[in-house]
Structure 1
Amino acid sequence: MGEPRKRAYASPLRQENAEATRARIVAAAAELMTTRGYAATTMAEVARGAGVAVQTVYASCPGGKPALAKMVYDVSLAGDAQEVPQSARPEVRRILDEPDPARKLALYASMATTIHRRTLPVQRILLAAAATAPADTGLHEMLAGLDRERLAGARGPAEHLHEIGALRRGLTVGRAAAQIYALTSTEVFERLTGTCGWNDRDYTRWLAEMLSAALLRR
């Protein structure tokens, strides 16, 4: 008989500690980046702020500082550091469970407004850093990846509307996703709430109306 195989064992406590460590790292990075800027934030300073070794920071984000910035953005997007799929979050479940398509889009617009408010400070910092550092390929690739993720994420609501038969006649899922991607862009949000002086309620109402007009059957 051969030697007994060792069982793979993942300690829940170990995983909980790892998640807590990652949350501290992201919180320290977010604080430094929003107060000092992306370029002035170092991995060593993040480690000190999180109370961990520098090697721990690199282990949590193998891609270096761009990967750390992505983690900061992801937490601002989700609203917390919990590894919960977007589809399982309460605000998304409310949209999926709502029977009326126009009301679905109103809830979606409200969620988009909340997300914009959370992510806008981080996006401004990263875009400003990219503008002054054209040679930082890691940062530019990370930002391009965020945009691709946003376009891919727009397929979710488009596919859902298609599945329930609510999409405007002749409108493909791909075209619907492209319109959702464009209408919910950070640039549009900034122009309307910044340059035009709209409040969040104005923007949410406008976005719900535009999405309904563009996507739903008459």
Structure 2
Amino acid sequence: MTEQRKRRPYSSGLRQEHAQTTRLKIATAARELMVGKGYADTTMAEVAREAGVAVQTLYTSCPGGKPALAKLVYDITLAGDARAVRQSDRPEVQAIIAERDPVRALAGFAAMATAILRRIKPVHRVLRAAASASPADAGLQDVLAGIEQERLAGSRGPAEHLHALGALRPGLPPARAAEQIYVLTSTENFEKLTEVCEWSEAEYEEWLAAMLAAALLGCPGGEETRGN
């Protein structure tokens, strides 16, 4: 009994590591296929083959079928890895939380958001296009709606942090601040500025930090945008 108890945490850790590796292999294969040939033309069998796993393993990892696979791809691309660690517990978020200067905190948030948007842009674009082409695909529509709700909920963290610092401009409640963060950090804004307007990512990051400060803190830094 004692020996079994000693082995159990080790075995559990191995199982968790194996599950993370499998999820990452599946998400990587699915992302490459979906971005390369589109969501609709990517089959579960192809993903399983490219990931080197059995089809049943794929369905076990994504019990909701292809929409669940799309969500797995999105989540792992967003996080940058397959670790079961909440976004709020990751080092880059903790560094922002530890920052007591609101302008520097927003600069750190803008840098993190830019890195996430760089990763997530091709995936989000593929899913948007697929949802637009297949409005009757309730599963995919639910995935995209859920992503937007998660983004809005995630925007409450920095808004509450600024509120706790007493840094939000007078009359701006944290909920309304979160809504502004949600809109300013949209993938669509990132695409338009870096692709249509041909801004560099550094210019986008600087703009985002200035816009967030101007909207939330009422500071004049938001006036110094590209082209002025």
Question: What is the TM-score of this pair, normalised by structure 2?
Answer: 0.88
User: 1:166 corresponds to which letter in structure 2?
Assistant: A
User: 1:127 corresponds to which letter in structure 2?
Assistant: R
User: 1:71 corresponds to which letter in structure 2?
Assistant: L
Rounded Cα–Cα distance in structure 2 between residues aligned with 1:126 and 1:52? 24
Matched ranges for 1:78-97 at <5 A: 78-97=79-98
Rounded Cα–Cα distance in structure 2 between residues aligned with 1:52 and 1:181? 37
Report the counterpart of residue 4 of structure 1 in structure 2: none
User: 1:201 corresponds to which letter in structure 2?
Assistant: A
Report the counterpart of residue 138 of structure 1 in structure 2: 139
- The answer to whether residue 95 in structure 2 is matched with residue 98 in structure 1 is no
Contact 1:28/1:46 (CA < 8 Å) preserved in 2?
A: yes
Report the counterpart of residue 206 of structure 2 in structure 1: 205
Q: CA deviation at 1:99?
A: 2.1
User: 2:73 corresponds to which letter in structure 1?
Assistant: V
Q: CA deviation at 1:217?
A: 5.7
Rounded Cα–Cα distance in structure 2 between residues aligned with 1:192 and 1:31? 25
Deviations 1:146-182 (A, max 9, x none): 0111011100100111112111111101100011011
Rounded Cα–Cα distance in structure 1 between residues aligned with 2:23 and 2:185? 29
Report the counterpart of residue 59 of structure 2 in structure 1: 58
Deviations 1:85-127 (A, max 9, x none): 1122121122112221101001111111111110000011111
Contact 2:100/2:165 (CA < 8 Å) preserved in 1?
A: no
Matched ranges for 1:153-192 at <5 A: 153-192=154-193
Rounded Cα–Cα distance in structure 2 between residues aligned with 1:187 and 1:18? 33
Matched ranges for 1:115-130 at <5 A: 115-130=116-131
User: 1:184 corresponds to which letter in structure 2?
Assistant: T
In structure 2, stretches of 5+ residues that fail to align are: 220-228
Rounded Cα–Cα distance in structure 2 between residues aligned with 1:207 and 1:201? 10
Report the counterpart of residue 49 of structure 2 in structure 1: 48
Report the counterpart of residue 215 of structure 1 in structure 2: 216
Report the counterpart of residue 150 of structure 1 in structure 2: 151
Rounded Cα–Cα distance in structure 2 between residues aligned with 1:193 and 1:116? 11
Contact 2:190/2:204 (CA < 8 Å) preserved in 1?
A: yes
Rounded Cα–Cα distance in structure 2 between residues aligned with 1:186 and 1:18? 29
Contact 1:193/1:203 (CA < 8 Å) preserved in 2?
A: yes
What secondary structure, in the 3-state scheme, does the structure 2 residue paired with 1:154 have? Answer: helix
Q: Give the direction of change, closer, same or farther, for the CA distance of 1:194–1:102 in structure 2 (3 Å limit).
A: same
Report the counterpart of residue 223 of structure 2 in structure 1: none
What secondary structure, in the 3-state scheme, does the structure 2 residue paired with 1:170 have? Answer: coil
- For CA contacts below 8 A with separation 6 or more, give which structure has more relative contact order: 1
Which runs of 4 or more aligned residues in structure 1 lie more than 4 Å from their structure 2 counterparts after TM superposition? none
Rounded Cα–Cα distance in structure 1 between residues aligned with 2:78 and 2:130? 19
| Percent of pairs with identical residues | 64
Aligned residues: 212
Question: What is the TM-score of this pair, normalised by structure 1?
Answer: 0.92
Contact 2:117/2:187 (CA < 8 Å) preserved in 1?
A: yes
Report the counterpart of residue 20 of structure 1 in structure 2: 21
Contact 1:166/1:217 (CA < 8 Å) preserved in 2?
A: no
In structure 1, stretches of 5+ residues that fail to align are: 1-6
